[in-house]
Amino acid sequence: MLAISISGIASGCIGMMGKLLGDAIEELDPMTIESIEAVGAGRLQILLYGVIHQIIPSIVSFALFRFELSIRLSIVLGAVGAGGIGLELYHSFALLDYRRSGAALIVTLLLVFVTERLSSFIRKKIRIEGVLK
């Protein structure tokens, strides 16, 4: 059951990342690519500095968003029987074991908080220091 829920989350994540990557590539600034071509860059340099350099911030942002969403989805899936913290939370509430359910809630909130802070740190680092230095 756990493998099915993991593959469900992963397939949705991969599909959405593919769509968002395609959208990011469509929104590239063609002037940057033309400028790189004008100075005599080869195809690999155009790809590296004209395409990848422009889409890395978007890719990182989308990946972090999907990671946060996957954490939250795994808790919801666990609550409906797929295992993990959500299942523990569901069972402890059903058994009226409030100490255990409180611990599961604290772990859930801590997990969400840590992933949110980590993604915020990475986004800020990318914004301040730039990409591919």
What string of pLDDT tens digits covers the 133 residues of the chain?
Answer: 667 767 777 777 888 888 888 888 888 888 988 999 999 989 999 988 888 888 888 888 888 888 888 888 877 777 776 777 777 888 888 899 889 888 888 988 898 888 888 888 887 887 776 654 5
The whole-angstrom separation of Cα 95 and Cα 83 is 17
Instruction: Pinpoint the alpha helices (H) of the chain.
Output: 2-26, 30-38, 43-45, 53-77, 85-94, 98-129
Would you mind telling me the total number of residues written for the chain in this entry?
Answer: 133
Residue type, 27: E
**pTM of whole model > 0.75?**
no
